[in-house]
Amino acid sequence: MGYEWFRAFRTAQPTGALLTRLQRALGGDANHYALTLWSAVGAYLPGQLSPQRLAVYWDGMPNDVAAVLGLGEEQGDTYVFVFRPYDASVLWGAAPTTSGIPAVHPCQLYLDLGCGDEHEIALAQLVREQLLRW
């Protein structure tokens, strides 16, 4: 199977249910996982949650998070993106949000979003203005 850096899943489970399962299984352990991209924006800035996408850094194999979230081969409208951190600094400064689920540090979030499409770049600017204040 090799070393996976990224894996995408599809599921019929709504994002909220996936977040609840993640929090129940792992709590606020920011040393091992953290929300990123649209999911972290939604955790930091109410009203910005992407209802059909979940993005998470996970320090284990992506298939392990599939087991935690109950993801299989089913199809659905919700996309789950699992990224294995390329080094420990990606999770530096991650902290539990009000939901108890950790999100990457706002600076890491800004960098992650800045590599995306027009919508993600707009979210990066919002993160910069609202969370980094520069």
Reported as a single tens digit per residue, the pLDDT across 14-63 is 888 888 888 888 777 777 889 999 999 988 987 766 778 999 998 888 78
Are 33 and 90 spatial neighbours (Cβ–Cβ below 8 Å)?
no
- When pLDDT is averaged across residues 70-82 and rounded to a whole number, the result is 85
Tell me the C-alpha distance between 131 and 44, whole Å: 8
Q: What is the DSSP string of 59-104?
A: SS-HHHHHHHHT--S---SEEEEEE--SSGGGGTT-EE-TTS-EE-
pLDDT above 70 as % of the chain: 96
Compare 123 and 50 and report the one with higher pLDDT. 123
- When pLDDT is averaged across residues 107-118 and rounded to a whole number, the result is 93
- CB-based burial of residue 54 (10 Å sphere; 0-12 exposed, 13-18 middle, 19+ buried)? buried
So what's the pLDDT on residue 49?
66
So what's the pLDDT on residue 122?
93
So what's the pLDDT on residue 48?
65
Tell me the C-alpha distance between 91 and 74, whole Å: 30
Q: How many CB atoms lie under 10 A from the CB of residue 86?
A: 9
Query: Listing from the earlier edge strand, what are the strands of the sheet with 33-35?
Result: 6-11, 78-83, 53-58, 33-35, 102-103, 95-96
Q: CA dihedral in degrees (85, 86, 92, 93; nearest 10)?
A: -50
- When pLDDT is averaged across residues 70-77 and rounded to a whole number, the result is 81
Q: Residue 111: pLDDT band by 50, 70, 90 thresholds?
A: very high
Tell me the C-alpha distance between 65 and 86, whole Å: 17
